[in-house]
Copies of this chain bind each other. A is one copy, B any other.
Amino acid sequence: MTLVGDLDTPVPLVEVGRLERNLSRMAERIAAAGAGHLPHTKTHKTREIAERQLAHGAAGLTVAKLGEAEAMVDAGFDDLLIAYPLVGEAKMRRLAALLERARVRFTVDSADGARAASGSLAASGQRCGVLIEVEAGSGRTGVSTLPEVVALAGLVASLPGLELDGVLTFGRGYVEGTAAQQRSGRAEGEIAVGAARAIEAAGLGPLPIVTSGSTPTSPYAAEVSGVTHVRAGNYVYHDLMQVSLGVATYDDCALTILATVVSHPSPRRYVVDAGIKTLAGENYGWGTYGRILGQPDVVISWAAEEHGVIDLADEVADPGWRIGDRVRIVPDHACGVSNMHDEVIAVDGEQVVDTWRVISRGRVR
C-alpha cells in the first residue's frame, strides 16, 4: 500500500471523503430546488470525477472547449455542453466528427458565428444543438439585450445545421456572502428565463435548456422557476476563493498540493517546492497563491515559477519546519491547478487509493 509520505513532491492530492461529501451536498441542493445539473468538468478534467457526478444525478457534463469535449467523449461520456462559442472551419470539422459519437451542444452569441457554424455543419450533413449565451454579469461573452437575443434565436432557428436548444447565462458569481450570492444567482437565473420566455413568445420555443449558475450561485439559480439546469463546477474541490467568499470552509477543500520545504534562508522565510507551475498563477486578487492546510495564516505570499515563498506575517507564529518537512497547500483556484498536472492522486487520509489522469489538461483548442 502506498502512503502519502511515499509520494514525491509537489503533487496534487484529492481527499476522496471530502470529494464525495462535496458531490452529495451540491447534488442534494440542486435536486431539492427542482433543477437539473450539468456540472462543469473544467475543474477536475478527470473521467473518475465525471463518473461520480453522473452517479450523483447529473443530467450531462459541461466542458470549456471542444478539445475537452473530445477528451470526455474518448473517456466514454456521450452528452456534452460546450459552454463556449465555437468559431472556425477546423473547429466545425472536429465538431461534425464528434457529433457522430455523442450529443454535443455549444453556445452562440453572434450572428456571424451562427452563420459560419451553420454553413459548415450543414455542409457536413450534421446538426448541432446551440444555446444562445446571454450576458448576465460575466464581463466576457453573451448577447446583451432582449431584442438582440430574440433576433439571434430567430436566426439560429432558421439556419440549417443548427438546432435552437435554449439559453445559457454565466453571472457574476464570485461575490462574497450568502445574501450577495443569492441575489446574483437569482439575477442570472432570471435573465436566462427572461430570455427564454422572450424567445418562446416569438414562437421559437419551447426551449429544453435554460441554464445558469456557478458554484456560489447554483443553489439559488436552481430555485428560479424556469431554470432547467445549473452548472456548478468548482464545488467538487473548493479552494481559497470559495473559502474567501463564504461558500466553503477549509474542511471542504478536497484538492491540496503536497509540497516539501526546500529552503529556510532566513528566520521568517520558508520556501516550498510548489510555485506557479504547480499552484497556477491566477491568484484572482485574493492576494495569495495558497495557504497551508491546518495553518491558514501561513501563506504562500509570493511565488516564482517553481518556488512558493512563505514570508511569515509579523503576527504569525513560526511553524518551526525543518528542510524536508512536508505541508499540504490549499490553492487559490483549484481549476487552474488541475490544468497544471497530468495526474492527481486520490487519497483517503494518509493512504493513496488511486491515480486519476487529468484527461483534458491543456485542451485549449
Contacts and interface: CB of A to CB of B under 8 A. Distances in A.
A202 interface: no
A91 B271 CA distance: 17
Nearest to A10: B364
Contacts of A324: 87-88, 112-113, 116
Which of A8, A340, A364 gathers most chain B CB within 10 Å?
A: A364
So how many copies of this chain end up in the complex? Answer: 2
Contact of A141 (B140, B142, B262, B339): B262
B278 A281 contact: no
B276 A282 contact: yes
Contact of A276 (B85, B305, B322, B336): B336
A342 interface: yes
Scoring A144, A277, A341 by chain B CB atoms within 10 A of each residue's CB, the highest score goes to A277
A264 interface: yes
A109 B305 contact: no
Nearest to A94: B8
A307 interface: yes
What class of interface size applies to chain A in its complex with B? Answer: 35 or more
Contacts of A110: 263-265, 323
Contacts of A138: 304
Given A282-B276, A324-B112, A140 B364 contact: no
A308 B140 CA distance: 8
B335 A305 contact: yes
A278 B281 CA distance: 12
Given A113-B263, A141-B262, A277-B364, 20 more contacts: A8-B365, A10-B365, A64-B305, A64-B306, A65-B273, A84-B262, A110-B264, A110-B323, A112-B324, A113-B323, A116-B324, A138-B304, A140-B263, A140-B304, A143-B265, A276-B336, A278-B364, A281-B281, A305-B336, A341-B364
16 contacts: A11-B365, A84-B273, A85-B263, A87-B260, A87-B261, A116-B324, A139-B309, A140-B302, A141-B307, A273-B364, A274-B364, A278-B364, A281-B336, A282-B305, A305-B339, A341-B362
5 nearest A-B residue pairs (beta carbon): A281-B282, A112-B323, A8-B90, A281-B281, A141-B263
Interface of A: 6-11, 42, 64-65, 84-88, 90-91, 94, 109-110, 112-113, 116, 135, 138-144, 260-266, 271, 273-274, 276-278, 280-283, 302, 304-307, 309, 322-324, 335-336, 339-342, 362, 364-365
